[in-house]
Protein backbone atom coordinates (compact mmCIF):
# COMPACT_ATOMS: atom_id res chain seq x y z
CA UNK A 1 0.00 0.00 0.00
CA UNK A 2 1.24 3.49 -0.82
CA UNK A 3 2.47 5.52 2.11
CA UNK A 4 -0.06 8.20 3.07
CA UNK A 5 1.34 11.36 4.54
CA UNK A 6 0.82 12.02 8.23
CA UNK A 7 -0.03 15.54 9.35
CA UNK A 8 2.40 16.03 12.23
CA UNK A 9 3.51 18.69 14.70
CA UNK A 10 7.30 18.50 15.29
CA UNK A 11 8.36 17.02 18.64
CA UNK A 12 10.04 20.19 19.88
CA UNK A 13 6.79 22.14 19.34
CA UNK A 14 4.81 19.91 21.71
CA UNK A 15 5.79 22.13 24.64
CA UNK A 16 7.37 19.34 26.67
CA UNK A 17 10.61 18.24 25.00
CA UNK A 18 13.64 20.33 24.11
CA UNK A 19 16.88 19.66 22.28
CA UNK A 20 19.54 18.30 22.62
CA UNK A 21 18.73 14.64 22.22
CA UNK A 22 17.69 12.40 23.83
CA UNK A 23 14.26 13.54 24.98
CA UNK A 24 13.52 11.35 27.98
CA UNK A 25 10.29 10.04 29.46
CA UNK A 26 11.07 8.30 32.75
CA UNK A 27 9.27 6.88 35.73
CA UNK A 28 8.18 3.59 37.23
CA UNK A 29 6.66 0.72 35.32
CA UNK A 30 3.64 1.09 37.61
CA UNK A 31 2.35 3.66 40.05
CA UNK A 32 2.24 1.68 43.31
CA UNK A 33 1.73 4.20 46.09
CA UNK A 34 1.72 7.95 46.52
CA UNK A 35 5.08 7.78 48.33
CA UNK A 36 6.73 5.68 45.60
CA UNK A 37 5.42 7.97 42.87
CA UNK A 38 6.48 11.18 44.63
CA UNK A 39 9.90 9.92 45.69
CA UNK A 40 10.72 8.65 42.21
CA UNK A 41 9.48 11.85 40.57
CA UNK A 42 11.56 13.99 42.96
CA UNK A 43 14.67 11.95 42.14
CA UNK A 44 14.07 12.31 38.40
CA UNK A 45 13.33 16.02 38.59
CA UNK A 46 16.62 16.60 40.45
CA UNK A 47 18.61 16.00 37.26
CA UNK A 48 16.27 17.61 34.79
CA UNK A 49 13.79 14.94 33.71
CA UNK A 50 10.55 16.73 32.98
CA UNK A 51 8.24 14.11 31.53
CA UNK A 52 7.18 11.48 34.07
CA UNK A 53 5.68 8.11 33.22
CA UNK A 54 3.81 5.61 35.41
CA UNK A 55 1.52 2.75 34.44
CA UNK A 56 -1.93 3.04 36.02
CA UNK A 57 -3.66 0.13 34.25
CA UNK A 58 -1.22 -2.69 33.58
CA UNK A 59 -1.74 -5.26 30.82
CA UNK A 60 -0.33 -8.48 32.32
CA UNK A 61 0.27 -11.84 30.71
CA UNK A 62 -1.10 -13.86 33.62
CA UNK A 63 -4.18 -13.10 35.70
CA UNK A 64 -3.56 -12.51 39.37
CA UNK A 65 -0.40 -10.45 38.82
CA UNK A 66 -0.41 -6.83 39.96
CA UNK A 67 -2.70 -5.15 37.44
CA UNK A 68 -2.17 -1.53 38.39
CA UNK A 69 -3.76 0.71 40.98
CA UNK A 70 -6.33 2.20 38.59
CA UNK A 71 -7.82 5.68 38.76
CA UNK A 72 -6.51 6.39 42.26
CA UNK A 73 -3.00 6.53 40.80
CA UNK A 74 -4.01 9.43 38.58
CA UNK A 75 -4.37 11.55 41.73
CA UNK A 76 -0.72 10.84 42.56
CA UNK A 77 0.31 11.79 39.03
CA UNK A 78 -1.73 14.97 39.40
CA UNK A 79 0.29 15.72 42.53
CA UNK A 80 3.54 15.20 40.62
CA UNK A 81 2.33 17.73 38.10
CA UNK A 82 1.09 20.25 40.67
CA UNK A 83 3.86 20.04 43.25
CA UNK A 84 6.89 19.27 41.10
CA UNK A 85 5.84 20.80 37.79
CA UNK A 86 6.59 17.66 35.75
CA UNK A 87 4.49 16.68 32.76
CA UNK A 88 2.71 13.38 33.41
CA UNK A 89 2.06 10.43 31.12
CA UNK A 90 0.52 6.98 31.20
CA UNK A 91 -0.65 4.12 28.99
CA UNK A 92 -4.24 4.00 27.75
CA UNK A 93 -5.88 0.85 26.45
CA UNK A 94 -9.53 1.84 26.24
CA UNK A 95 -11.93 4.74 25.85
CA UNK A 96 -12.49 4.73 29.62
CA UNK A 97 -8.74 5.19 30.25
CA UNK A 98 -8.67 8.13 27.84
CA UNK A 99 -11.57 9.89 29.58
CA UNK A 100 -9.98 9.36 32.99
CA UNK A 101 -6.66 10.75 31.75
CA UNK A 102 -8.29 13.82 30.24
CA UNK A 103 -10.18 14.41 33.50
CA UNK A 104 -6.98 14.30 35.56
CA UNK A 105 -4.90 16.50 33.26
CA UNK A 106 -2.52 13.85 31.93
CA UNK A 107 -0.15 15.57 29.46
CA UNK A 108 0.77 12.66 27.20
CA UNK A 109 -0.58 9.15 26.67
CA UNK A 110 0.84 6.13 24.94
CA UNK A 111 -0.66 3.00 23.43
CA UNK A 112 0.95 -0.23 24.60
CA UNK A 113 2.21 -2.94 22.28
CA UNK A 114 -0.80 -5.19 22.87
CA UNK A 115 -3.17 -2.33 22.12
CA UNK A 116 -1.49 -1.25 18.88
CA UNK A 117 -2.00 -4.80 17.63
CA UNK A 118 -5.78 -4.39 17.96
CA UNK A 119 -7.40 -1.99 15.43
CA UNK A 120 -10.76 -2.08 17.29
CA UNK A 121 -9.13 -0.68 20.42
CA UNK A 122 -6.99 1.79 18.49
CA UNK A 123 -10.11 3.15 16.79
CA UNK A 124 -11.97 3.36 20.10
CA UNK A 125 -9.07 5.32 21.60
CA UNK A 126 -8.74 7.56 18.53
CA UNK A 127 -12.47 8.39 18.74
CA UNK A 128 -12.16 9.21 22.44
CA UNK A 129 -9.18 11.50 21.74
CA UNK A 130 -10.90 13.36 18.91
CA UNK A 131 -10.65 17.16 19.20
CA UNK A 132 -8.05 17.06 22.00
CA UNK A 133 -4.46 18.09 21.36
CA UNK A 134 -2.86 15.68 23.80
CA UNK A 135 0.35 14.11 22.48
CA UNK A 136 0.15 10.39 21.76
CA UNK A 137 3.00 7.88 21.41
CA UNK A 138 2.25 4.57 19.74
CA UNK A 139 4.32 1.56 20.72
CA UNK A 140 5.04 -0.99 18.03
CA UNK A 141 2.57 -3.90 17.93
CA UNK A 142 3.77 -7.09 19.66
CA UNK A 143 4.26 -8.73 16.25
CA UNK A 144 6.61 -7.23 13.66
CA UNK A 145 3.87 -5.95 11.36
CA UNK A 146 4.80 -2.49 10.08
CA UNK A 147 1.41 -1.95 8.44
CA UNK A 148 -0.39 -2.56 11.71
CA UNK A 149 1.85 0.02 13.38
CA UNK A 150 1.27 2.53 10.58
CA UNK A 151 -2.47 1.79 10.59
CA UNK A 152 -2.66 2.80 14.25
CA UNK A 153 -0.84 6.06 13.46
CA UNK A 154 -3.26 6.74 10.61
CA UNK A 155 -6.31 6.14 12.82
CA UNK A 156 -5.04 8.61 15.43
CA UNK A 157 -3.97 11.16 12.83
CA UNK A 158 -7.40 10.99 11.17
CA UNK A 159 -8.94 11.74 14.58
CA UNK A 160 -6.93 14.98 14.53
CA UNK A 161 -3.98 13.89 16.70
CA UNK A 162 -0.97 15.72 15.26
CA UNK A 163 1.33 15.53 18.26
CA UNK A 164 2.00 11.96 17.33
CA UNK A 165 5.11 9.81 17.74
CA UNK A 166 6.21 6.21 18.14
CA UNK A 167 7.99 4.06 20.68
CA UNK A 168 10.02 1.08 19.51
CA UNK A 169 10.09 -1.62 22.21
CA UNK A 170 10.84 -4.71 20.13
CA UNK A 171 8.76 -7.74 19.20
CA UNK A 172 7.67 -10.93 20.92
CA UNK A 173 9.45 -14.11 19.90
CA UNK A 174 8.96 -17.76 20.72
CA UNK A 175 12.70 -18.31 20.55
CA UNK A 176 14.71 -17.65 23.67
CA UNK A 177 16.85 -14.56 23.20
CA UNK A 178 18.87 -12.49 25.66
CA UNK A 179 16.56 -9.53 25.38
CA UNK A 180 12.94 -9.63 26.52
CA UNK A 181 11.82 -8.51 23.06
CA UNK A 182 13.56 -8.84 19.71
CA UNK A 183 14.62 -5.37 18.46
CA UNK A 184 14.36 -6.11 14.72
CA UNK A 185 15.83 -2.65 14.13
CA UNK A 186 15.15 -2.95 10.40
CA UNK A 187 11.42 -2.47 11.10
CA UNK A 188 12.12 0.77 12.98
CA UNK A 189 14.54 1.94 10.29
CA UNK A 190 11.93 1.26 7.60
CA UNK A 191 9.33 3.27 9.52
CA UNK A 192 11.80 6.14 9.96
CA UNK A 193 12.61 6.17 6.26
CA UNK A 194 8.91 6.28 5.35
CA UNK A 195 8.10 9.02 7.90
CA UNK A 196 11.31 10.95 8.63
CA UNK A 197 9.36 13.63 10.55
CA UNK A 198 7.66 11.18 12.91
CA UNK A 199 9.10 11.63 16.44
CA UNK A 200 10.81 8.42 17.44
CA UNK A 201 11.37 7.04 20.94
CA UNK A 202 12.97 3.75 21.95
CA UNK A 203 12.04 1.88 25.12
CA UNK A 204 15.22 0.06 26.21
CA UNK A 205 13.52 -1.16 29.41
CA UNK A 206 10.91 -3.34 27.71
CA UNK A 207 13.21 -4.22 24.82
CA UNK A 208 16.02 -5.45 27.08
CA UNK A 209 13.99 -6.67 30.03
CA UNK A 210 17.03 -6.24 32.29
CA UNK A 211 19.04 -3.27 33.42
CA UNK A 212 22.14 -4.94 31.98
CA UNK A 213 21.06 -4.06 28.45
CA UNK A 214 19.89 -0.49 28.94
CA UNK A 215 23.17 1.12 27.99
CA UNK A 216 23.74 -0.78 24.74
CA UNK A 217 20.15 -0.33 23.57
CA UNK A 218 20.06 3.37 24.45
CA UNK A 219 23.37 3.93 22.65
CA UNK A 220 22.12 2.06 19.58
CA UNK A 221 19.00 4.17 19.55
CA UNK A 222 21.03 7.40 19.67
CA UNK A 223 23.36 6.13 16.97
CA UNK A 224 20.37 5.46 14.74
CA UNK A 225 19.37 9.10 15.17
CA UNK A 226 16.16 8.55 17.16
CA UNK A 227 14.98 11.48 19.27
CA UNK A 228 13.84 9.99 22.51
CA UNK A 229 14.06 7.31 25.17
CA UNK A 230 11.38 5.99 27.47
CA UNK A 231 13.06 4.36 30.45
CA UNK A 232 11.64 2.84 33.60
CA UNK A 233 12.90 4.19 36.90
CA UNK A 234 11.77 3.29 40.42
CA UNK A 235 12.94 4.66 43.77
CA UNK A 236 13.42 1.09 45.01
CA UNK A 237 13.59 -1.27 41.99
CA UNK A 238 14.07 -4.52 43.87
CA UNK A 239 10.70 -4.03 45.57
CA UNK A 240 8.84 -3.00 42.38
CA UNK A 241 5.49 -4.73 41.90
CA UNK A 242 6.12 -5.09 38.15
CA UNK A 243 9.26 -5.29 35.99
CA UNK A 244 11.65 -5.20 38.95
CA UNK A 245 14.62 -6.50 36.93
CA UNK A 246 14.62 -3.74 34.36
CA UNK A 247 14.15 -0.60 36.47
CA UNK A 248 16.90 1.82 37.49
CA UNK A 249 16.94 4.12 40.49
CA UNK A 250 16.83 7.79 39.48
CA UNK A 251 20.56 8.05 40.42
CA UNK A 252 21.43 5.11 38.14
CA UNK A 253 19.39 6.65 35.34
CA UNK A 254 21.24 9.95 35.78
CA UNK A 255 24.56 8.08 35.51
CA UNK A 256 23.39 6.26 32.36
CA UNK A 257 22.25 9.47 30.66
CA UNK A 258 25.07 11.75 31.75
CA UNK A 259 28.10 9.47 31.82
CA UNK A 260 27.47 6.28 29.87
CA UNK A 261 25.70 7.06 26.63
CA UNK A 262 27.13 9.49 24.08
CA UNK A 263 25.32 11.54 21.49
CA UNK A 264 27.48 11.36 18.40
CA UNK A 265 27.47 14.12 15.82
CA UNK A 266 25.48 13.32 12.70
CA UNK A 267 28.28 14.80 10.59
CA UNK A 268 31.32 17.03 10.88
CA UNK A 269 32.89 19.78 8.78
CA UNK A 270 36.46 19.08 9.91
CA UNK A 271 38.52 18.85 6.63
CA UNK A 272 40.59 15.84 7.69
CA UNK A 273 37.51 13.85 8.72
CA UNK A 274 35.81 14.77 5.44
CA UNK A 275 38.75 13.68 3.33
CA UNK A 276 39.12 10.35 5.07
CA UNK A 277 35.46 9.51 5.12
CA UNK A 278 35.09 10.48 1.45
CA UNK A 279 37.94 8.14 0.51
CA UNK A 280 36.51 5.28 2.51
CA UNK A 281 33.06 5.84 1.04
CA UNK A 282 34.50 5.89 -2.47
CA UNK A 283 36.05 2.48 -1.79
CA UNK A 284 32.73 1.16 -0.50
CA UNK A 285 30.96 2.45 -3.63
CA UNK A 286 33.39 0.54 -5.86
CA UNK A 287 32.97 -2.64 -3.83
CA UNK A 288 29.18 -2.27 -4.03
CA UNK A 289 29.41 -2.00 -7.81
CA UNK A 290 31.52 -5.16 -7.87
CA UNK A 291 28.99 -6.96 -5.69
CA UNK A 292 26.19 -5.93 -8.06
CA UNK A 293 28.18 -7.04 -11.10
CA UNK A 294 28.92 -10.39 -9.43
CA UNK A 295 25.27 -10.88 -8.45
CA UNK A 296 24.10 -10.05 -11.98
CA UNK A 297 26.62 -12.49 -13.49
CA UNK A 298 25.64 -15.19 -11.04
CA UNK A 299 21.98 -14.73 -11.88
CA UNK A 300 22.70 -15.01 -15.61
CA UNK A 301 24.39 -18.38 -15.11
CA UNK A 302 21.60 -19.43 -12.82
CA UNK A 303 19.09 -18.80 -15.60
CA UNK A 304 21.23 -20.83 -18.02
CA UNK A 305 21.24 -23.71 -15.54
CA UNK A 306 17.46 -23.35 -15.29
CA UNK A 307 17.07 -23.72 -19.05
CA UNK A 308 19.43 -26.68 -19.07
CA UNK A 309 17.48 -28.42 -16.30
CA UNK A 310 14.21 -27.82 -18.10
CA UNK A 311 15.54 -29.26 -21.35
CA UNK A 312 16.70 -32.35 -19.49
CA UNK A 313 13.54 -32.67 -17.41
CA UNK A 314 15.34 -32.16 -14.08
CA UNK A 315 13.68 -30.56 -11.01
CA UNK A 316 14.76 -26.99 -10.13
CA UNK A 317 15.66 -27.67 -6.53
CA UNK A 318 18.40 -30.07 -5.45
CA UNK A 319 18.53 -29.56 -1.71
CA UNK A 320 21.74 -31.53 -1.16
CA UNK A 321 23.57 -29.41 -3.73
CA UNK A 322 22.47 -26.24 -1.91
CA UNK A 323 23.52 -27.63 1.50
CA UNK A 324 26.96 -28.33 0.06
CA UNK A 325 27.23 -24.82 -1.45
CA UNK A 326 26.17 -23.21 1.81
CA UNK A 327 28.63 -25.28 3.88
CA UNK A 328 31.46 -24.25 1.58
CA UNK A 329 30.41 -20.60 1.67
CA UNK A 330 30.28 -20.60 5.47
CA UNK A 331 33.71 -22.16 5.75
CA UNK A 332 35.25 -19.71 3.28
CA UNK A 333 33.27 -16.76 4.66
CA UNK A 334 34.48 -17.44 8.19
CA UNK A 335 38.04 -16.98 6.93
CA UNK A 336 37.02 -13.47 5.87
CA UNK A 337 35.61 -12.74 9.31
CA UNK A 338 31.96 -13.07 8.27
CA UNK A 339 29.53 -14.63 10.71
CA UNK A 340 27.56 -17.76 9.94
CA UNK A 341 24.26 -15.94 10.42
CA UNK A 342 25.23 -13.18 8.00
CA UNK A 343 26.42 -15.67 5.38
CA UNK A 344 23.27 -17.75 5.71
CA UNK A 345 21.05 -14.66 5.42
CA UNK A 346 22.84 -13.38 2.32
CA UNK A 347 23.27 -16.69 0.51
CA UNK A 348 19.80 -17.99 1.28
CA UNK A 349 18.42 -14.76 -0.22
CA UNK A 350 20.60 -15.25 -3.30
CA UNK A 351 19.47 -18.85 -3.59
CA UNK A 352 15.82 -17.92 -3.26
CA UNK A 353 16.14 -15.38 -6.07
CA UNK A 354 17.93 -17.97 -8.25
CA UNK A 355 15.24 -20.57 -7.73
CA UNK A 356 12.64 -17.93 -8.58
CA UNK A 357 14.54 -17.04 -11.77
CA UNK A 358 14.62 -20.70 -12.84
CA UNK A 359 10.84 -21.17 -12.66
- Residue 169 binding target from ligand PEP, Mn ion, none, CB below 5 to 8 Å by type: ligand PEP
6, 8, 24, 29: which one binds ligand PEP (CB under 6 A)? 29
Distance from C-alpha of 90 to C-alpha of 37, rounded to nearest angstrom: 13
Is 55 a binding residue for ligand PEP by CB under 6 A? The answer is yes
Residue showing the smallest CB distance to ligand PEP in the complex: 112
- Residue 97 binding target from ligand PEP, Mn ion, none, CB below 5 to 8 Å by type: none
Contact 53, 26 (CB under 8 A): yes
Size of the site for ligand PEP (CB under 6 A): 10
Is 165 a binding residue for ligand PEP by CB under 6 A? The answer is no
CB atoms within 10 A of CB 289: 10
Distance from C-alpha of 255 to C-alpha of 183, rounded to nearest angstrom: 24
91, 100, 124, 227: which one binds ligand PEP (CB under 6 A)? 91
**Closest distance to ligand PEP from the beta carbon of 295 (Å):** 39
**Closest distance to Mn ion from the beta carbon of 59 (Å):** 10
- Residues lying near Mn ion in the complex (CB under 5 A): 29, 243
Question: Which whole-number Å values give the CA distances from 305 to 34, 235, 349, in the listed order?
Answer: 72, 66, 18
Q: Cβ closer to ligand PEP: 97 or 306?
A: 97
**Closest distance to ligand PEP from the beta carbon of 230 (Å):** 7
Is 169 a binding residue for ligand PEP by CB under 6 A? The answer is yes
**Closest distance to ligand PEP from the beta carbon of 203 (Å):** 6
Return the percent helix, strand and coil in the chain, to nearest 5.
50, 10, 35
**Closest distance to ligand PEP from the beta carbon of 55 (Å):** 4
Is 28 a binding residue for ligand PEP by CB under 6 A? The answer is no
Residue showing the smallest CB distance to Mn ion in the complex: 29
CB atoms within 10 A of CB 116: 25
Is 208 a binding residue for ligand PEP by CB under 6 A? The answer is no
Angle between helices 146-158 and 185-194 (to 10 degrees): 40
DSSP 130-149: TT----EEEEPPSS--HHHH
Residues between 95 and 154 with contacts to ligand PEP, criterion CB under 6 A: 112-113, 139
- Strand, helix or coil at 30? strand
Torsional class of 68: left (φ above 0), alpha (ψ -120 to 50), beta (otherwise): left
Contact 141, 149 (CB under 8 A): yes
Q: Cβ closer to Mn ion: 58 or 155?
A: 58
Q: Cβ closer to ligand PEP: 155 or 206?
A: 206
**Closest distance to ligand PEP from the beta carbon of 169 (Å):** 4
**Closest distance to ligand PEP from the beta carbon of 257 (Å):** 18
- Strand, helix or coil at 110? strand
Contact 166, 148 (CB under 8 A): no
Contact 47, 258 (CB under 8 A): yes
Footprint of ligand PEP (CB under 6 A): 29, 55, 59, 91, 112-113, 139, 169, 203, 206
Amino acid sequence: MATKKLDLIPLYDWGMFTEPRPSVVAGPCSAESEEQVMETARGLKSFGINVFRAGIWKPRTHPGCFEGVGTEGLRWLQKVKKELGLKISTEVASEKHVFECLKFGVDLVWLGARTTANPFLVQEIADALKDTDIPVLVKNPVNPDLDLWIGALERLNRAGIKKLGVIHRGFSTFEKINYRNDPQWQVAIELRSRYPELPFFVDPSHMGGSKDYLEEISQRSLDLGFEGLMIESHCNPSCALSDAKQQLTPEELQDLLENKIKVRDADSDAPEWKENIDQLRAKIDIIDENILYALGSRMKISRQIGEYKKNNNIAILQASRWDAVLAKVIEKGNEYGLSEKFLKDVFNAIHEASVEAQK
